[in-house]
C-alpha cells in the first residue's frame, strides 16, 4: 500500500510534466474513441438502413428467379406462410418456425421488371407488387415519404404508384401525374398499365431510389397471367441482425428446394465492413496508443533520470529494487489510466448529442455517399464492448511503456546516485 501511495503522490510532484502527458493521452483516446464510434455507427447505420428499406434480413425466392428475374419463376405464398406458426400453433412437429420467438414479419411481393414512362422520359425499373399493410410492417420506405409528398398506397387512389424523388426528377412528374408501366406477362405479351403517382419517397440508398417503385399487388396481378397466390419474393424482417444467424439456417432446412439468402449474401461488401468494424476499431486504437507509448516512455525516463538522487536514497534506506520497479510501473499505469478516462469522458460528452442528431456528411460530398449506398448522416454507436477493448489496450500500453523506465531505475546504484 505504501508503494501505491508513493507512486500516486509522485505523479503530481511535477504537475506541468504530468499534465502534458495526461493531455496527450486524453487527446489520443478521445480521437480513438470518437473514430471507433463513428465508424461503427456509420457501417451499422448503413446496414440497418438497407435492411429496412431494401433487403430485409432474409429473402426467399424460386431458385431460377435471380438468374434473369423471369416472371415465370414464382412460388405460391402458402408454400412459405404454411411453414410459419405462432407460439400457440398446434402443428409444430414438422420443424415449423415459431414466428413469435423471433419477432418475425413477412411480406410477399411480385417483382416485375419493365419500363416506366411519362410524357417526358422513361426509365427501367422493378415494380414491386405488395400488400400495403404487410409492406409497411417489414420496410420503412413509407417513412421516407414527406407529408407533402403523398402516402404509401394507403389511400383509395386507383392504380396508385410510389416512386422515388430521383425517378420523379428523371421522369419530370409530380404527385397525381400519370405514368405508364410496361412489362411482359407470363406468355411474353407486353402489358401496359397506367398509374397515378400517389407518393414520392427518398431514402439514403440511391440504387434503390433509381430502380424501385411500389404498386399494389391487386392492381398488377390481373395483368401478369400468374396463378392465384403467386409471388416472386418473401422478404422477412427480424428483431435484429444477430437473430438472422439463427433463423437463416432454419429457413434453409425448411425450404431446401428454394433459394434462401440473408442480408450478408445480398450485400457481401457491407457484410465484410461489418465483420471488420470491431477489428479495425481495435487496430486504430492500438496505433494511437502505440504512438502515445513513445511519449509516455520519454516522460517517465526523464522522471527517473531527474530523480536519481531520490531513488538512490530510497534504495539506501532499505527499499528493495522490486518495490522501486513496482513504483515506477504504477506511476506510468496511473498516468495512462487517468489520461484515458479523461479522453473517454470527453469523447462520450461530445458523442452523446450526435447519437440522436447524427453527423451530417452531406456538406463534404453532398449526396455522393448515397450514390454508393452509404448513409450521408452518421449516428455514432457507443457500446460496452468497445470500452472494454479500450481499457484492456490502455492497461497493456501502460505496462509495456513502464518496463524500460522501471528497468532503468533498477540499474541505479544507491551510493552513486546519492552523490550525484
39-81 pLDDT, tens per residue? 888 888 778 878 888 888 999 999 999 888 899 999 999 998 8
Q: Is the dihedral of CA 116, 140, 369, 274 positive or negative?
A: negative
With 60 as the cut, is the pLDDT of residue 86 above it?
no
Of 214, 228, 20, 222, which Cα lies nearest the Cα of 136?
A: 214
Mapping DSSP to helix (H, G, I), strand (E, B) and coil, where does residue 344 land? Answer: helix
Mapping DSSP to helix (H, G, I), strand (E, B) and coil, where does residue 216 land? Answer: strand
Distance CA 80, CA 201 (A): 30
Please give the model's pTM, rounded to 2 decimal places.
0.72
pLDDT at 363: 65
Q: Which residues of 290-313 are buried (b: 16+ CB within 10 A; e: fewer)?
A: eebbeebbebbbebbeebbeebbe
C-alpha cell at 366: 453532398
190-249 pLDDT, tens per residue? 999 999 999 999 887 788 888 999 999 999 999 999 999 999 999 999 988 888 888 899
Residues 326 and 403 sit within 8 Å (Cβ to Cβ)? no
Residues 347 and 29 sit within 8 Å (Cβ to Cβ)? yes
253-278 pLDDT, tens per residue? 889 999 999 988 888 877 777 777 76
Q: What φ, ψ does residue 77 adopt, rounded to 5°? A: -60, -30
C-alpha cell at 49: 438502413
Contacts of 265 (CB under 8 A, 6+ apart): 271
Higher local confidence (pLDDT), 309 or 349? 349
pLDDT at 4: 83
pLDDT at 70: 92
pLDDT at 420: 55
pLDDT band, very low/low/confident/very high, at 95 (cuts 50, 70, 90): very low
Q: Using a pLDDT cut of 90, give the percent of the chain over it.
A: 34
pLDDT band, very low/low/confident/very high, at 89 (cuts 50, 70, 90): very low
With 50 as the cut, is the pLDDT of residue 92 above it?
no
Q: In the chain, where are the structural domains located?
A: 2-50+270-419, 58-237
Of 112, 103, 99, 222, which Cα lies nearest the Cα of 159?
A: 222
Give the relative orientation of helices 308-316 and 268-306 as an angle to the nearest 10 degrees.
70
Amino acid at each position: 500500500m505504501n508503494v501505491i501511495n508513493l507512486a500516486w503522490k509522485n505523479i503530481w510532484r511535477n504537475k506541468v510534466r504530468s499534465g502534458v502527458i495526461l493531455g496527450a493521452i486524453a487527446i489520443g483516446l478521445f480521437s480513438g474513441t470518437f473514430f471507433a464510434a463513428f465508424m461503427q455507427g456509420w457501417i451499422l447505420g448503413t446496414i440497418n438502413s438497407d435492411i429496412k428499406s431494401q433487403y430485409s434480413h432474409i429473402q426467399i425466392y424460386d431458385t431460377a428467379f435471380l438468374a434473369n428475374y423471369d416472371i415465370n419463376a414464382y412460388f405460391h405464398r402458402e408454400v412459405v406462410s404454411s411453414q410459419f406458426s405462432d407460439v400457440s400453433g398446434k402443428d409444430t412437429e414438422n420443424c415449423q418456425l415459431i414466428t413469435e420467438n423471433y419477432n418475425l414479419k413477412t411480406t410477399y411481393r411480385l417483382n416485375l421488371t419493365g419500363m416506366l414512362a411519362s410524357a417526358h422520359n422513361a426509365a427501367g425499373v422493378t415494380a414491386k407488387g405488395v400488400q400495403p399493410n404487410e409492406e409497411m410492417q417489414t420496410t420503412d420506405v413509407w417513412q421516407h415519404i414527406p407529408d407533402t409528398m403523398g402516402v404509401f398506397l394507403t389511400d383509395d387512389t386507383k392504380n396508385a404508384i410510389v416512386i422515388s424523388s430521383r425517378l420523379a426528377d428523371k421522369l419530370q412528374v409530380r404527385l397525381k401525374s400519370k405514368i405508364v408501366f410496361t412489362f411482359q406477362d407470363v406468355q411474353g405479351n407486353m402489358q401496359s398499365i397506367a398509374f397515378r403517382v400517389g407518393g414520392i419517397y427518398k431514402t439514403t440508398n440511391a440504387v434503390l431510389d433509381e430502380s424501385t417503385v411500389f404498386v399494389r399487388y391487386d392492381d398488377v396481378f390481373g395483368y401478369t397471367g400468374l396463378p392465384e397466390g403467386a409471388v416472386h419474393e418473401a422478404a422477412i424482417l427480424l428483431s435484429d441482425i444477430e437473430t438472422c444467424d439463427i433463423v437463416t439456417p432454419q429457413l434453409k432446412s425448411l425450404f431446401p428446394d428454394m433459394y434462401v439468402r440473408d442480408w450478408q449474401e445480398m450485400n457481401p461488401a457491407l457484410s465484410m465492413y461489418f465483420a471488420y468494424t470491431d477489428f479495425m476499431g481495435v487496430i486504430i486504437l492500438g496505433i494511437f496508443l502505440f504512438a502515445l507509448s513513445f511519449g509516455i516512455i520519454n516522460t517517465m525516463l526523464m522522471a527517473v533520470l531527474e530523480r536519481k538522487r531520490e531513488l538512490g536514497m530510497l534504495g539506501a534506506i532499505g527499499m528493495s529494487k522490486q518495490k522501486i520497479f513496482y513504483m515506477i510501473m504504477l506511476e506510468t499505469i496511473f498516468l495512462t489510466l487517468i489520461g484515458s478516462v479523461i479522453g473517454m469522458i470527453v469523447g462520450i460528452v461530445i458523442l452523446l448529442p450526435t447519437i440522436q442528431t447524427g453527423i451530417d456528411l452531406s456538406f463534404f460530398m453532398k449526396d455522393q455517399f448515397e450514390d454508393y449506398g452509404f448513409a450521408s448522416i452518421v449516428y455514432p454507436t457507443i457500446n460496452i464492448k468497445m470500452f472494454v477493448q479500450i481499457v484492456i489496450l490502455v492497461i497493456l500500453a501502460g505496462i509495456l511503456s513502464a518496463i524500460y523506465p522501471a528497468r532503468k531505475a533498477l540499474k541505479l546504484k544507491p551510493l552513486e546516485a546519492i552523490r550525484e
